[in-house]
């Protein structure tokens, strides 16, 4: 027993472990809450820009650049107010606005992952798939990119499971888990939309 441990109750190590775990859990919950608020903020900024443009206000490159500069001056510690990011916010709102199933989900993954999905996926159903899978399996940004580049969405639509050849051993188990239950589109609430899409593809 260490000198500093004298007088400590025998259950102190387990108590310390429990408190550490509680702190880590609180940190994780706080990060999730902050992420939701951040994505909600970006959604609102995208909505404001779209609304101004729809009202006929001249909201072009010059105004967005000025807005970005003013926001960075007011909030110098925040890195997300570049003009490019403001345009991404506009795109983000335009892509998901009006999709009732997707709007509640957008706050469940980080902005960086949204940028990956917006940049690499062109189909709304494909974007929904990767948002849901990232949320469900906790994919990191690098894993998400890997899944998109290896066409996990297309492979799932086709019912193929040849990920062993496409993934490194480190990611193989996670990829198998990610598609284990996803052959049934109803599980993702995509059934009718996917069925209609496949029927359209089969028409001459």
Domain ranges in the chain are 10-97, 110-204
- In sequence order, which ranges of the chain are alpha helices (DSSP H)? 12-54, 61-74, 83-96, 111-120, 124-137, 141-149, 152-158, 163-166, 169-179, 191-202
Instruction: Look up the pTM and report it.
Output: 0.69
d(CA 37, CA 111): 11
> How much is the pLDDT for 169?
56
Find the largest Cα–Cα distance for the chain.
82
Examine the pLDDT at 89 and tell me if it is beyond 50: yes
Q: What percent of the chain has pLDDT over 70?
A: 75
For helices 124-137 and 141-149, the axis angle rounded to 10 degrees is 140
Examine the pLDDT at 3 and tell me if it is beyond 70: no
The predicted model gives 70-86 an average pLDDT of: 88
Examine the pLDDT at 185 and tell me if it is beyond 60: no
Average pLDDT across the chain, whole number: 77
Examine the pLDDT at 199 and tell me if it is beyond 50: no
The predicted model gives 120-142 an average pLDDT of: 89
> How much is the pLDDT for 2?
57
């Amino acid at each position: 027993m260490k000198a500093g441990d004298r007088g400590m109750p025998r259950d102190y190590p387990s108590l310390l472990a429990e408190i550490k775990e509680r702190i880590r859990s609180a940190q994780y919950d706080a990060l999730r809450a902050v992420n939701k608020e951040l994505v909600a903020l970006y959604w609102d900024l995208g909505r404001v820009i779209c609304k101004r443009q729809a009202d006929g206000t001249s909201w072009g490159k010059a105004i967005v650049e000025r807005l970005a500069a003013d926001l960075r001056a007011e909030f110098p510690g925040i890195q997300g107010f570049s003009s490019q990011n403001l345009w991404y916010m506009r795109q983000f709102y335009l892509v998901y606005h009006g999709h009732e199933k997707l709007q509640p989900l957008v706050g469940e993954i980080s902005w960086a992952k949204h940028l990956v999905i917006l940049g690499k996926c062109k189909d709304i159903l494909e974007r929904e798939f990767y948002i849901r899978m990232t949320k469900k399996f906790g994919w990191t940004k690098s894993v998400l990119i890997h899944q998109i580049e290896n066409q996990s969405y297309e492979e799932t639509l086709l019912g193929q499971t040849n990920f062993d050849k496409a993934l490194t051993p480190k990611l193989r188990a996670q990829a198998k888990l990610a598609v284990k239950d996803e052959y049934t589109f109803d599980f993702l609430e995509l059934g009718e939309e996917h069925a209609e899409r496949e029927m359209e593809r089969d028409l001459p």
